[in-house]
A and B are shown apart, each in its own frame.
Chain A
């Protein structure tokens, strides 16, 4: 998935604790020339034109560092101050001033808020290099590589006293709430993003031109084709719409392939094209959502993993070895829903995919330990490789043999199949699914036993046993089956994976044992209670009084992450996408190649955000546009303290080993 996708979740104890966030640098993205209107307390405030001000003269000094006292243990892991600080002016000139230890180069990223249409500086040349192409998004001039640490503009101290006064009244503005009248929101069409392209007019749909218009209005496309140009998959539009585009893409890609200089991506207008070639397959992402090349590339890799998961690498290779012109749609028949739900989770924005990490259901340590020990006791052979209890995509418990770890990218495929795609019926029956988990072994299939606990408390194990004396009630066959749950967010799945195709009945006994021990005692209700109470609320449970609105915290040692409830602010798709776009740009900036950024503070028109990277954790947090750097820092420190305190409830450390 992302750059550390190959990393396994060793589920082992974390490293040394990280220190406090004491020094931060920050970045100002609000270089736009537009006037914005911020609504607050029914007052309209016209924000001073930042661009003009920054022409005024030499850069002002950085504001004083936030006064958070470093804790004693901070010495080892204390965040390094940024090495070189740079001011960027609208006319393209730069000012740098140095602090000790220059060694990094920055990759400024553009925040999603200004993404898409409003990027005049975007280069339309073909960039083979990630870092180069990202840089070209913001900087009209090419920078000499290697001399910059960060794009930093001190903004607050530059404001007039009157502005400061007004600002201080609006600290409670939430992210993404400011209204911009003059710029068309590039995400305006996001609500229609997942609507299907209508059928042809013969099918009672639209004419070709209108269909094409709908197709073009999508902000994100994913296409898969064979190197001979045969279409394999397109997220939007049927083949009649997409065919000619596939042809053009194939021609462009193979032109560069022929020149031994594979095309990795290019920009056209506000749209980024990224191409990944995997053996006989071309994967293309077309995005107007402002993701970095590395992020788009990892999304395409995930689609490739889904194909491997269906076919295995040897099968894929041999299909094309025998007949290079093969139409892969046939061997893949039935997997479009899996590819599409994966693609849509990227388009909606998935923290798990972004961070290459898994999320756990928050449970008391002792409860999780009892569940895991019940799980281990239920183990009834069948060459079990991994056993998992998963609630709506969040891990509850894991058991595994000592020598095997879990791979987040594999589990993302499994969770996508079970909880997103609707391909597996939840609530009834048991499933036995051949699946290749490519990060574990892309050469062969494993067999996955899956059964769900009904949401409707029907916890009795499906009795393949007739040991009970009661003759079961006869149910007449009827077309009224329990409908599959629209959202599987509250369904609990038991997943048992074995390399042996004949182990179904052993795994079924394991599951039956487990279900009876979970239902006999209070364990199942512990799980249910935690599901019902949802993710902890940031403002009431995690950090009362915090100026932050949302965060992502990744424990690097555990390859797991946690986040607060998104309710109510980020519940609907659009604010959620804006939030995720912001996280993508933060993540992209701190993970850009050659970037050794430890802390990134960024201020935009509609939000303030902070990324903080240490050897043990990554923290990304978001607040409203007027939250001060000091408040942000303090908020971040509180989150880290909370995560440390709750570590053993938030994360599975080690899991059950047999």
Chain B
């Protein structure tokens, strides 16, 4: 397992298998964890894999960094999106402020991330407004207009009912360069001989805390 083959698209017979890095960003509690029941706020970041088949011959595997939305982790985000092929920026359609946060993530990604990064905007908790339409705080039209202007894929989703979640990932996969070589596992900045001395600056005073 130590030797990781070069990941990316692979064709054998009539099948294609591609692997991409995806990062989930968004304010805390918008629903980035694909949701089972009540769940505590993410601590740090979680690394998951998800595989979907686009059609009979094409399988796409996502390596997903689910980041924590709490403010204090903000400065760690570049570590996760730096090499990402795609990003899903999530907001909560019942919380207007979460869209503002999403917009600032999009800006940051467009400035700092991989130039070819595919960004999707996901307005989550759709199930809440199907039951009680007055809970909606961000109109579909507004969000869609913004997404168009910024060149983003756009979906309204529910992590609870799974509505549109698969469609969102499929749409991302279709935009990805399936025929080219996929992402490179970059392993930045390793083995620089970091001292383990507890007083060493390498333990990152002020590291992930953005306060």
Contact = CB atoms under 8 A, between A and B. Distances in A.
Contact of B207 (A428, A445, A473, A477): A445
A513 B36 contact: no
A144 interface: no
Interface in B60-80: 61, 63, 66, 68, 70-73, 76, 79
Nearest to B18: A466
Contact of B59 (A445, A446, A471): A471
A424 B15 CA distance: 36
B134 interface: no
A464 B49 contact: yes
Interface stretch (A39-47, A498-506, A590-598, A642-650): A498-506
Interface string A502-540: 111110110011011000000000000000000000000
B211 interface: yes
Interface stretch (B3-11, B108-116, B137-145, B148-156): B3-11
A430 B52 contact: no
Name the interface size band of chain B: 35 or more
Contacts of B70: 333-334
Contacts, number: 202
B209 interface: yes
A464 B6 CA distance: 10
A476 B63 contact: no
Contact of B211 (A311, A382, A480, A483): A311
A434 B203 contact: no
Contacts of A312: 205-207, 209
B194 A499 contact: yes
B47 A429 contact: yes
B48 A505 contact: no
B37 interface: yes
Nearest to B44: A433
B36 A483 contact: yes
A425 interface: yes
Contacts of A381: 190-191
A466 B194 contact: no
B46 A445 contact: no
Contacts of A440: 198
B211 A429 contact: no
A463 B76 CA distance: 24
A201 interface: no
Given A334-B70, A502-B190, A444 B205 contact: yes
Interface string B1-34: 1111101001010010101000000001000011
Interface string B180-211: 00000101111100101011111111111101
B198 A477 contact: no
B34 A479 contact: yes
15 contacts: A319-B211, A331-B71, A333-B28, A334-B70, A401-B196, A429-B66, A443-B205, A445-B207, A461-B1, A464-B185, A479-B35, A483-B36, A500-B190, A502-B190, A506-B187
A-B pairs with the 5 shortest C-beta distances? Answer: A444-B203, A433-B44, A474-B53, A512-B1, A334-B41
Interface of B: 1-5, 7, 10, 12, 15, 17, 19, 28, 33-37, 39-41, 43-53, 59, 61, 63, 66, 68, 70-73, 76, 79, 159-162, 165-166, 169, 185, 187-191, 194, 196, 198-209, 211
